[in-house]
Structure 1
């Protein structure tokens, strides 16, 4: 399979993105490079290699049991914060501009 201009047009339509001609060429080049890399990976002999579900050999050595711990400095943090309301930190709201 080769990524061509027709496929790029289809992908643009499906994704709903706008691309200028130079961006289209760059994406076409990058996708073709990815396909070439995939072909190289397809040629690797993996017979006899056990499937790996995680790159970490022993999940128990990395993960720990979640434990609830008390936190005693809550009031001090709230008192040091610039604004608070009803025992919670007060931060500026996020306003989304509908025109963008």
Structure 2
């Protein structure tokens, strides 16, 4: 596959962009380089290379859901707030 002027014009319409005349040739060259690179990757023989990671066989690590109450964390967070009281943020009222 290669990018010609007709295909590039079609892509410009789909992407709602406009290229100047001097940019068209350079853009075609860049896109063709990308396509050639991808085609080279597709031609690699990967049959004997083991997969090291697969989403199908992986699972999320499970942990116990244990609530932890640590007031020091709240104090550290609230010390950066402009206003706080009794471990809560004080914010201006927006509904009367």
Distance 1:59 1:24, change over 3 A: farther
Task: Name the TM-score, length of structure 2 as normaliser.
Answer: 0.57
Aligned residues: 79
- Cα deviation for residue 42 of structure 1 reads 2.3
For 1:79 and 1:48, locate their aligned partners in 2 and report how far apart those are by CA, in whole Å: 61
For 1:16 and 1:67, locate their aligned partners in 2 and report how far apart those are by CA, in whole Å: 52
> Which ranges of structure 2 fall in alignment gaps of 5 or more residues?
84-88, 92-96
Equivalent position of 2:17 in the other structure: 17
> Which ranges of structure 1 fall in alignment gaps of 5 or more residues?
81-85, 89-100
Alignment RMSD, CA only? Answer: 3.6
Distance 1:59 1:29, change over 3 A: farther
Aligned 1:7-46 pairs, distance under 5 A: 7-46=7-46
Look at both structures and tell me which one has the larger radius of gyration over its CA atoms: 2
1:77 paired with 2:89, answer: no
- Cα deviation for residue 22 of structure 1 reads 2.6
